[in-house]
Amino acid sequence: MMARRYVAVLLSILIVPMIALTDAAPPSIEGVWLSADGTGWIKIEMGEHGPVGSIAGSPDDPEQRKQSDKDELNPDPELRERPLLGLTIMEGFTPAGEGKWKNGKIYDPNSGKTYKCKLTLVDSDTLKLRGYIGVSLLGRTETWTRRTL
């Protein structure tokens, strides 16, 4: 009888924390993020295959990213008249583990260049982006922070 109680108590001590851990949802990448240079807000939503990011504004000056701003540095002359506000700049990602995505691309409207990209959600408020040409070793990592209202 005493052995059964001991086993029951031991099991409850081991199982209850495991249940609590499995109920905890991982942080979501969805939300508005401040770019590493602090000049732009990027809204990230989950698309059909992975995260998709678009320009959502600027923290420095509400007038800085307005509807009249155009994608003037785009290498394709036909795209230079499209507005920056709402422009999709991140897409094509595939899952690479919990909180990680790979094989995406990111467009830099400040240079008109597009890079391969991978993402790592470090915690609920920190997102690391690795942009590169060719192989990831030849790239640059930026840290974005979640915008809090």
User: What SS3 class is residue 149?
Assistant: coil
Q: How far apart are CA 85 and CA 76, in angstroms?
A: 18
pTM exceeds cut of 0.85: no
- Look at residue 135 in the predicted model and tell me its pLDDT: 83
pLDDT digits (tens, 9 = 90+) for 61-70: 655 555 568 9
User: What SS3 class is residue 38?
Assistant: coil
pLDDT digits (tens, 9 = 90+) for 14-43: 454 444 444 566 789 999 999 999 989 999
Domain borders along the chain are 27-146
Taking domain 27-146, whether its CATH number is 2.40.40.20 is answered by no
Type and span of the H or E element at 35: none
Q: How far apart are CA 139 and CA 133, in angstroms?
A: 7
Q: Where are the beta strands (DSSP E) in the chain?
A: 31-34, 41-46, 51-57, 88-91, 94-95, 100-108, 113-123, 126-132, 139-146
pLDDT digits (tens, 9 = 90+) for 64-102: 555 568 999 999 999 999 999 999 999 999 999 999 999
